[in-house]
Amino acid sequence: MATVIVSDGPPCLDGPDGAYRPGQPDRDGAAIASDSLKLATDLVKSGYCSALVTAPVSKANIAQIDPGFIGQTEFFADACGLDHHASVMMLAGPSLKTVPMTVHCAFADVPDLLTVELIVERCRIVARSLQVDFGIRDPHIAIAGLNPHAGEDGRMGSEEIEIIAPAIAQLRTEGVNASGPHPADTLFAPHKRGTYDVAIAMYHDQALVPLKALDFDEGVNVTLGLPIVRTSPDHGTAFDIAGKGIARPDAMIAAIRMAAEIAERRAAL
C-alpha cells in the first residue's frame, strides 16, 4: 500500500507500485492512477490545495480494478456527493467552449437520454459557472440541434421540437441567455463562434470534434458544478507515443493555468 509523503509542496504517493513500461497499461498503473485521484480529491476537498489538475487516465484500465469507474467527470461527482447530471464536462480552448449534454454512451442511446430537464439543469450549471469561474457577466449559450439541419421542422427528427426548443424556452424564462436549436454543421463556423460564449452539443463527438480540430494542443477539460476546482488536458493517454519524448505539454500547461485562474476568481467572491 502506498504511503503519503508531505513536504513543503503538494503531498506525493510513495511506496511499492509496479514496473514501468511506457505505453503498456497494466493493473499496477491503474491502481496508482486510482489512488492518486482519491488522494488529490481529498486534498482539495479538505482545503489543503486550492485546485486539482488531473492527467489523462485509461478508463478501461481503472475499471478493471474498480468496475464502477465510468470516467473522471463522474468520479468527481461521486466524490463530492453529487448526482452525475450535476457535474458538467466543458471543453475550453482559445477558439471555443463547448459542452456535450450526453457523454460516455453509445450514439444509439442519445435520443432516449435527452430530456427537457437534463438540458435545463445542465445549462443552468453552465451559465452559473461561466459567470463565477470565467467572469462572463451575461453568457450567451448557443444550443445545437440533435439532427441534421436541426431537424428541419420535424422532417428529420422530432427532438428539436419536443425536447430542445422547450428547454430553451424554459431557460429564457429563467433569465438565461440561450438560443437555438442551431444546426450543428454551421454552429462552429468562424463567423458563428464569435456570437456566443459556449456551444451546447447533444452528444460527445458533436462537441469534441470541433474543439479538438480547433484547439487540440490547448484544449482543457473543466468539470463544472463541483464545489472544488478541477481541470484536465483535453486529450487521451497517448500510449502510442509514451516514452518517445515527443508529447507536447501545451494542454497540461493550459489546464494548470485555467485551474489557477478559476481558483483565484472563487477565492475573490
Tens of each residue's pLDDT in the chain, 269 residues: 455 555 566 677 666 566 778 888 888 888 888 888 999 999 999 998 999 999 988 888 899 888 888 888 889 999 999 988 889 999 999 999 999 999 888 999 999 999 999 999 999 999 999 999 999 999 999 999 999 999 999 999 999 999 999 999 999 999 999 999 999 999 999 999 999 999 999 999 999 999 999 999 999 999 999 999 999 998 888 889 988 999 999 999 999 999 999 999 999 98
- C-alpha dist (Å) from residue 104 to 74, 88, 110, 114: 10, 12, 10, 13
Q: What is the DSSP string of 111-154?
A: HHH--HHHHHHHHHHHHHHHHHHH--SS-EEEEE-SSGGGGTTT
CA distance 257 to 206: 26
Q: What's the pTM value of the predicted model, to 2 decimals?
A: 0.89
CA distance 198 to 176: 13
Residue that the C-alpha cell 475550453 belongs to:
92
What are 143's strand-pairing partners? 200
CA distance 111 to 129: 26
Instruction: State which H helix or E strand residue 53 sits in.
Output: strand 52-53
pLDDT of residue 1: 44
Residue that the C-alpha cell 463547448 belongs to:
98
